[in-house]
Amino acid sequence: MRGQQQAAISGGHSQDPLLQMDDSLTNIHWLGKMGANTLLDRQERSYNRIGRPQRKTHDSNRPPYSYMALIQFAINSSPARRMTLKEIYAWIEDRFPYFKTAKQGWKNSIRHNLSLHDIFIRETTKCESGRAQSYWTLCHEALERCLTIDQMERREAQMRCRPVPQITRSGTPPILPRPLGGYAVVPVVLPAPGSRDNNPTLGHRPAGVVRIQPKGQLPVSVTPSHLLRSGSVTTPRTIFPKPATQHGIKRPSDSDLPPRKRKSMISPTSSQHRPVPTFYRPSGASPLKETTNLTPTKERVKEEDVGMRSQLLWSPDSHLLFSPDKGFSELLNSLDLEISPLRSVLRTPVIGRNVATSTPRKVTPPKTSSRSPGLLSPIQDFSIPKTPDSGLHSSNSLTQHVSPIKDSFPPLLGRVQKSKTSPGQLGLGSLREFGLPGLTPLKEEYQGKEGDHEPVTQNLSFGKLLEELGLDTIAELDVGNISFSAIQ
């Protein structure tokens, strides 16, 4: 850690050669280590449009982010969107002083995460200027998502200022208004490319500016500018927020524990279910399974779905789910699959759909839902399938499952584990403090009523989404810095 790294960072300008040809914008010390103040100024000026001078984060406390997130923060903070291991170390230590004094082992974890997760890709430059150099970069989807520390901190600030509405009862916060239709975002301004057109790694992308479309209007495209320019994406997308569960209720840790050792549940609000994201095709074949669930009538409810009554109460009419976009399946087919458009879940009890196309969609048969369903904050839960045709394969009366989160973009907050080596309540504690575990859960009243067939969709207000991102709903926003994956 010492000698070699020090040299590389402070003195040696670990400037990425990718950016050497440029001079004006990128010729700064974007990775600081000397005079933090001076550096801070430069950085704020160059890369922080928000202008909030928050360099050191979560001082001395362990940050509530997973290593996976931290590494993405680091890599995305660099103009070239790639970093050497040393630089990743240094960036994390710089932004999260906790790691400066952290028990050694965290670097091991960093390397472990880099190797383990496929979103982190190692590049080796040819040793044209001497020896080969290894850089860590992100897969295409992660580059697009462009997860940054700024996003998170904006979010945190938001949380501090206007915290989530108080929890009315234990574990059952009130429901928030949810509009019916899908949401659409349309690009309004496409600023001139930031003079770095030739960068193949999407590094230092210029931000596209979008404006929220009035509700009820139909899908228009939301497209990052660099993609628009290349003409790869021109089809509209719809936004379908995704349900989730409540957090913050202790469950028994693991069933393998001998019964005497198992922790007792604190709140017996058991049977929490979060339907796994479901990818469906509006014009797809009929469900393979016929067990009720689809018809929101009281009679059907009674039919033979043992213990599933409350599920149905939260199952919106299927036509509701598809109504906002009749041409959705055609759109799907015409999409550039490289983009991995994200359609998040609707709590649809459609089980085992038989997809008629050659590219199966991702599905997890929702025997779904439960008693107390909730809505996860979108930013915690938007995940991207790694490959277009990954997902559930249904044939021959069986169904194969692929976790949509697997090595893609797991929730960034709320799943960070408590560090064994840190005080204890830092991990999840700080999360709960910010109200982050399960931001907009459903009210219990809505759950209990039978035959509640009002058009309560699972669509989360997109305004709410933006609010949680720390952005205003109608205002223009810098799309370059938030996740496109969460918007498409």
For residue 344, what are its two tokens?
Answer: 């998040």
**Long-range CB contacts (within 8 A, 24+) of 335-340:** 335/233, 335/235, 336/232, 336/233, 336/235, 337/388, 338/140, 338/232, 339/144, 339/227, 339/232, 339/233, 339/488, 340/141, 340/384, 340/385, 340/386, 340/388, 340/485
For residue 302, what are its two tokens?
Answer: 């009674």
For residue 471, what are its two tokens?
Answer: 């952005």
Binding mask 63-102 for Mg ion (x = CB under 5 A): ----------------------------------------
For residue 282, give the nearest of 327, 240, 241, 239 by alpha carbon: 327
For residue 236, give the nearest of 182, 185, 191 by alpha carbon: 185
> How many whole angstroms separate alpha carbon 239 and alpha carbon 216?
12
Considering CB distances under 5 to 8 angstroms, the limit depending on partner class, which of DNA, Mg ion, a copy of itself, none binds residue 337? none
CB of 170 to a copy of itself, least distance (A): 29
Considering CB distances under 5 to 8 angstroms, the limit depending on partner class, which of Mg ion, a copy of itself, DNA, none binds residue 297? none
Considering CB distances under 5 to 8 angstroms, the limit depending on partner class, which of a copy of itself, DNA, Mg ion, none binds residue 213? none
> How many whole angstroms separate alpha carbon 54 and alpha carbon 41?
11
Q: Check residue 288 for interaction with DNA (CB under 7 A).
A: no
CB of 245 to DNA, least distance (A): 4
Identity of the residue, 245 or 377, whose beta carbon is nearer to DNA in the bound complex? 245
Q: What angle do CA 189, 214, 220 make, to 5 degrees?
A: 55
Identity of the residue, 413 or 477, whose beta carbon is nearer to DNA in the bound complex? 413
In the set 225, 344, 364, 485, which binds DNA (CB under 7 A)? 364
CB of 130 to a copy of itself, least distance (A): 10
In the set 126, 417, 455, 475, which binds DNA (CB under 7 A)? 417
> How many whole angstroms separate alpha carbon 277 and alpha carbon 403?
9
Residues 104-123 that bind a copy of itself (CB under 8 A): 104-105, 107-108, 115, 118, 121-123
Residue nearest to Mg ion (CB): 120
First and final CA of the chain: distance in angstroms? 41
Identity of the residue, 257 or 337, whose beta carbon is nearer to a copy of itself in the bound complex? 257
Q: Check residue 415 for interaction with a copy of itself (CB under 8 A).
A: no
Give the number of residues in contact with a copy of itself, rule: CB under 8 A: 37
Residues 342-401 that bind a copy of itself (CB under 8 A): 352, 365, 367, 395-401
Residues 239-278 that bind DNA (CB under 7 A): 245-247, 249-257, 259, 262-263, 265, 268, 270-276
> How many whole angstroms separate alpha carbon 343 and alpha carbon 277?
8
Q: Check residue 120 for interaction with Mg ion (CB under 5 A).
A: yes
